[in-house]
Chains A and B, each alone.
Chain A
Amino acid sequence: MSVTATAPPAARGSRGSALGRLTLTELKLLLRERVRLIVGVGIPLILVIIFGSIPFYNHPARVFGGLTLLDEYVSILSAFSLAVLSLTVVPMVLADYRAKGVLRRLRTTPVGPWRVLAAQVLVDLALAVVAVAVILAVARIGYGVFLPRQLAGFVVATLLAAAALMAIGLFIAALAPSGRAGMTTGQVLLIPMMFFAGLFIPIPAMSPAVQHVSHATPLGAAVEAMQYAAQGHWPHLLPLLTMAAYAVAFGLAAARLFRWE
């Protein structure tokens, strides 16, 4: 290729917006980094397959009003997938970008660092949607779990859960000094949050006091709303409002505290 000082600028019409380009780039990086795919989609999916293959999980139980344990677990594992992506992957990537000066470098361009944040969240949201869809599809096809009967309600609950969890993930990213610190903080938070979401003990089997705490946590509220919608009802307002409150509170705190370097 010959080099001339007057080389024509690259075709501009096909370049698209900077946000579009950044999102596409982040998507490519995501696909190259298998860890994120395995953590966000692979692990919840493997859990669906394991639980689905254990007969105990596949028998209708009275405590769940005649549903199987797996029916309950599909919502829990969907929420788990959202939580893993939001609480570990988002802080890991963004804190790493800050530590490496990627965000500082972007501050000196016309685009600024906000868009890379937005691109990252968009890509992880898209991955979360894919993860939930795959979990529902595998549970339906492989183990005869019904798809959410109140689909619109399920979508609203899932999106609000994603918003609340992403806001918490951004909050962690705002404070974490490094990618590793961000991921570790997210993982540590994930364990109690998953407990209150009923991953270890189903919520109906918890004592009433613990159930109250569970409903106040972002993942407890998410699972409550998602399970209700899965059974065919529009989710109650309280868990939806709880999730919205988390999204707003942590979103504002993250915006205030986020440092570019």
Chain B
Amino acid sequence: MSAVIEVQHLHKSYGDTVAVDDVSFTVADGEIFGILGPNGAGKTTTVESIEGLRTPDRGTISVLGLDPRRDRAELTQRLGAQLQDSQLPDRLQVAEALELYSSFYRAPADWRALMDVLGLAAQSKTRFGQLSGGQKQRLSIALALVGNPRVVVLDELTTGLDPQARRDTWALIEGVRDRGVTILLVTHFMEEAERLCDRVALIDAGRVVAMDTPAGLAGRVQADQRIQFRPSVPLDDALLTSLPDVTSVTRRGDVVVVTGNSNALNAVTSVLARHQIVAQQLRVEQASLEDAFIALTSSADRN
């Protein structure tokens, strides 16, 4: 797969404030690539440089072989953008906005079909100011797609949406990817990144601290497994603490909480089986992307 977006050693400061220190990554064709990081990590500055809205101080960016600043006219034809906090005039209707934006492009998508796909057909005559948050967000996705782009940049796609609208939007984004569009997604929702992204770059304090698949990132944190269960008969802690794979055993009421390495679950269940104890309401928690996020970004803080 060829690279659609290539960012190398991007650096951007505003006065004395370093927004992006040194960021490099590559996005392959057809990928959903996530940029993840705490607020103020430099995510938006990075994607705005890719969109050609910012001029980097150092480093190179190539999008579909184009330079976002030099080849701006051509880039805008092929890259669709959904910006953070960008609105339309309050009195502009949904269909008017889509028709207007489609007139900007050389080979636009059918805006009526797009309106249907995004579930906005019933709102075609509704003014922007009267749309709900979810409808506004869907319209901004439609506007990002109306030029038939090869690449779409989505910045804080689902911020401010309720959980249902968020899930609906995710399904939509997967649909967009299935049409062969490469997607760069900026988010600070771990669940969103886990659900959508093929790969994730974790950015903190203007640097890429880790880049991997969501599962790969989660696996990097040498976090313990946490096993919870309610034993069917009273249980001596020593039975579990003696296991080499178990690091600790605590109790919360009649619930036993065991932590240990990745082999702990195996060890615990076989011990219980040997003593004919049933582990009721058994739950196993594994390190998630969120654990990785916290571990990786806070370690960067200490440096």
Binding site for B on A (CB under 8 A): 1, 3-5, 7-10, 15-16, 18, 21-22, 25, 28-29, 32-33, 97, 100-102, 104-105, 107-112
Known: A33-B91, A108-B79. 20 other contacts (CB 8 A): A3-B117, A7-B113, A9-B109, A9-B110, A10-B102, A10-B111, A21-B103, A25-B100, A28-B96, A29-B91, A97-B89, A104-B53, A104-B86, A105-B83, A108-B51, A108-B52, A108-B76, A109-B76, A110-B106, A112-B76
Could you give 25 example pairs across A and B, Cβ below 8 Å?
A1-B112, A1-B116, A3-B113, A9-B109, A9-B110, A10-B99, A10-B102, A10-B111, A15-B102, A18-B104, A21-B103, A25-B92, A25-B96, A28-B96, A29-B91, A100-B87, A100-B88, A101-B83, A102-B87, A107-B53, A108-B83, A109-B105, A110-B73, A110-B76, A111-B104
Known contacts A9-B110, A10-B112, A29-B92: A105-B86 contact under CB 8 Å? yes
Q: Which residue of A lies closest to B140 (CB)?
A: A105
- B167 CB, min distance to chain A CBs, angstroms: 21
B274 adjacent to chain A (CB < 8 Å): no
B38 adjacent to chain A (CB < 8 Å): no
Known contacts A29-B91, A101-B87: A16-B110 contact under CB 8 Å? no
What range describes how many residues of B lie at the interface? 35 or more
Which listed residue, B81, B88, B107, touches A102 by the CB 8 Å rule?
B88
Top 3 A-B residue pairs of the complex, sorted by shortest distance between their CB atoms: A101-B86, A7-B110, A108-B81
Known contacts A9-B109, A21-B103: A102-B53 contact under CB 8 Å? no
Q: Which residue of B lies closest to A97 (CB)?
A: B89
- A76 CB, min distance to chain B CBs, angstroms: 32
CA distance A104 to B143 in the complex (A): 14
Q: Evaluate contact between A110 and B77: CB separation under 8 angstroms.
A: yes
Q: Evaluate contact between B108 and A10: CB separation under 8 angstroms.
A: yes
- B51, B100, B108, B121, most chain A CB atoms within 10 A: B100
Q: Which residue of A lies closest to B78 (CB)?
A: A110
Q: Evaluate contact between B85 and A108: CB separation under 8 angstroms.
A: no
B25 adjacent to chain A (CB < 8 Å): no
Q: Which residue of A lies closest to B111 (CB)?
A: A10
Q: Which residue of B lies closest to A32 (CB)?
A: B91
B179 adjacent to chain A (CB < 8 Å): yes
Q: Evaluate contact between B87 and A15: CB separation under 8 angstroms.
A: no
Q: Evaluate contact between A109 and B108: CB separation under 8 angstroms.
A: no
- A4, A8, A105, most chain B CB atoms within 10 A: A105
Q: Evaluate contact between B100 and A21: CB separation under 8 angstroms.
A: yes
Q: Which residue of B lies closest to A2 (CB)?
A: B116
Q: Evaluate contact between A109 and B110: CB separation under 8 angstroms.
A: no
A-chain residues with CB within 8 Å of residue B110 when the two chains form the complex: 7-10
Known contacts A5-B179, A18-B103: A29-B89 contact under CB 8 Å? yes
- A147 CB, min distance to chain B CBs, angstroms: 35
- B51, B81, B108, B113, most chain A CB atoms within 10 A: B113
B147 adjacent to chain A (CB < 8 Å): yes
B170 adjacent to chain A (CB < 8 Å): no
B101 adjacent to chain A (CB < 8 Å): yes
Q: Evaluate contact between A110 and B104: CB separation under 8 angstroms.
A: yes
CA distance A29 to B76 in the complex (A): 26
Q: Evaluate contact between B100 and A22: CB separation under 8 angstroms.
A: yes
CA distance A22 to B83 in the complex (A): 21
Q: Which residue of A lies closest to B115 (CB)?
A: A1
CA distance A189 to B117 in the complex (A): 49
CA distance A224 to B4 in the complex (A): 62
CA distance A29 to B117 in the complex (A): 27
CA distance A49 to B104 in the complex (A): 44
- A109 CB, min distance to chain B CBs, angstroms: 5
Which listed residue, A4, A18, A21, touches B113 by the CB 8 Å rule?
A4
CA distance A109 to B83 in the complex (A): 12
CA distance A3 to B143 in the complex (A): 17
- A124 CB, min distance to chain B CBs, angstroms: 15
- A48 CB, min distance to chain B CBs, angstroms: 29
CA distance A142 to B243 in the complex (A): 103
Which residues of chain B (92-137) have a CB below 8 Å from chain A?
Answer: 92, 96, 99-113, 116-117, 121
Q: Evaluate contact between B105 and A16: CB separation under 8 angstroms.
A: no
- A26 CB, min distance to chain B CBs, angstroms: 9
- B160 CB, min distance to chain A CBs, angstroms: 14
- A84 CB, min distance to chain B CBs, angstroms: 20
- B38 CB, min distance to chain A CBs, angstroms: 23
B-chain residues with CB within 8 Å of residue A10 when the two chains form the complex: 99, 102, 108, 110-112
Which residues of chain B (249-303) have a CB below 8 Å from chain A?
Answer: none
A-chain residues with CB within 8 Å of residue B88 when the two chains form the complex: 100, 102, 105
